[in-house]
Amino acid sequence: MHSVTSQGGDRAGINEGRVAIVTGAGRGIGRGHALELARQGARVVVNDLGTAVDGAGGSDGPAGEVVDAIRAAGGEAVANGDDVSDWDGAGRLLRAALDTFGGLDILVNNAGILRDRMLVNMRVEEWDAVIRVHLRGTFAPTRWVAGYWRDRAKAGETNDARIINTTSAAGLYGNVGQVNYGAAKAGIAALTVIAAHELGRYGVTVNAINPGARTRMTQGVQPGAYASVAPGEFDAADPENVAPLVAWLAGPAAAGITGRVFTVRGGQIRVLEGWHAGPAATRGRRWDPRDLGPVVRALVDQATPPADIYGEIPAADH
């Protein structure tokens, strides 16, 4: 796959000649990433276990189907069924890219599961499973590829590499019934910012996306939330709408954009503004706890209120 069609005609893809890994790429948003990266000229390792939404079961079918679609369109791809939350499995995932395509330029961490439950009812197994797949499943591939790119840099090679992680509104703003998922996704956002600071010296940028789309996971959380559209109309909930931003962030043109989190849904892209210092109260000695009531309440009243689940700041009461 060496060209894409645009309104201006055929032109080289923005990821021409690059090698990408996409985790959780068998269905939904990850599938869209893999197809778009291939459409833009990348050679893709399509990783997926083929599990249910809760992580149960497994099948090599979804990854293989994506590989078949990429090859049918003239691209290059290979399927990988390793568990990205397993340390050795994540290493084999990197090795698949190196052995098949001779290098690696892009890692898209997308794999995830859901085991939603209210905090007071959540079992430790449900907590551990979600934290493992999302947070460890982002850390392990990231650690392996970071080591690969560091070694290249120390050997005098030049990297123009990209890591793109997947966070969520549940982790950025909070959502009832998703304390395990939200904690993992908040951790991924923090991992993104810190890794961006650490890996820039090796020629690696690290960003994250907060996608909004109709998937198996969102349909379970918000059944019926996505209205159907008439044939020919723009479907803002189509998971493939997320992929163009990922493809751009994965390309050479995105050099210098790092440590950022973007929301992308439908035709809208927003850059998110994270934690920053707000109103302060200072005194030249230790605070007495008995004095803090009016001080803390005044600070909270002056501060920007927390965003809602959509990232919007609630309107002030009048």
Mean pLDDT of the 177-202 span: 98
Is a pLDDT exceeding 70 seen at residue 223?
no
Per annotation, catalytic residue among 85, 148, 185, 202: 185
The whole-number pLDDT of residue 237 equals 86
Q: Are 216 and 222 in contact (CB under 8 A)?
A: no
pLDDT of amino acid 61: 82
- Best CA proximity match to 145, nearest among 78, 45, 245, 70: 45
CATH 3.40.50.720 is right for the domain spanning 4-271? yes
Examine the residue annotation and report whether 185 is marked as an active-site residue of this protein. Answer: yes
As a whole number, mean pLDDT of residues 217-239 equals: 70
Please identify which of the residues 85, 148, 173, 181 carries the catalytic annotation: 181
The structural domains of the chain, with segments of one domain joined by +, span: 4-271
Catalytic residue among 148, 168, 173, 202: 168
Would you place residue 67 in the very low, low, confident or very high pLDDT band (cuts 50, 70, 90)? very high
To the query of whether residue 154 is one of the catalytic residues in this protein, the response is no
pLDDT at 59: 46
The answer, yes or no, to whether residue 53 has pLDDT greater than 70, is: no
User: Given this model, what pLDDT does residue 23 score?
Assistant: 98
User: Whole-prediction pTM value?
Assistant: 0.89
